[in-house]
């Protein structure tokens, strides 16, 4: 979930090319929760700061309806609030957009189960 179509597009292409995750995307929190629920997502990637409801607000709903789903924040404000949001259990990880997509891919892949032989 990100309110910028360009950011969503870049993330979508990198995630599809460099992880085993399927991708669905949303530009707002309500759509993100609906798509995550409909698709029984294993992982949700949220921008922290968006027009209401923002990523932080959506974590409570996601934790309630998909308790086993991993939630990763990807935001320009990650350095200021990331550690606190992880410590509070709202996110499983929070990354800065300034760190780039390579670090994002590494983190997303760390949440994947090992391939079955």
Q: Considering its fold, how many domains does the chain have in total?
A: 1
- Is 65 domain-assigned? yes
Local structure of 3: helix, strand or coil = coil
- Is 115 domain-assigned? no
pLDDT of residue 70: 94
Residue 98 above 70 pLDDT? Answer: yes
- Reading the block at residue 49, the tokens are 């700061």
Average pLDDT over every residue of 61-66: 92
Tell me, what CATH number does 15's domain have? 3.40.50.2300
- Is 82 domain-assigned? yes
- Among 17, 79, 22, 64, residue whose Cα is nearest residue 45: 22
- Is 37 domain-assigned? yes
- For residue 44, CA distances in Å to 60, 72, 84, 116, 117 come to 13, 6, 19, 23, 26
Residue 117 above 70 pLDDT? Answer: no
**More confident call, 52 vs 90:** 90
Residue 115 above 70 pLDDT? Answer: no
- Is 116 domain-assigned? no
- Reading the block at residue 110, the tokens are 């760390």
Range of the domain at 69: 5-110
pLDDT, tens digit (0-9, with 9 covering 90-100), for 29-49: 888 889 999 988 889 999 998
Average pLDDT, the chain: 90
């Amino acid at each position: 979930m990100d309110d910028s179509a360009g950011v969503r597009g870049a993330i979508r292409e990198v995630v599809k090319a460099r992880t085993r995750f399927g991708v669905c995307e949303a530009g707002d929190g309500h759509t993100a929760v609906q798509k995550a629920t409909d698709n029984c997502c294993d992982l949700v990637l949220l921008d922290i700061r968006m027009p209401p409801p923002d990523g932080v607000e959506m974590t409570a709903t996601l934790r309630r309806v998909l308790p086993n789903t991993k939630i990763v924040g990807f935001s320009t404000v990650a350095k200021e609030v990331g550690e606190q949001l992880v410590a509070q259990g709202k996110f499983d990880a929070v990354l800065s957009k300034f760190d780039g997509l390579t670090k994002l891919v590494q983190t997303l892949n760390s949440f994947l189960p090992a391939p079955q032989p």
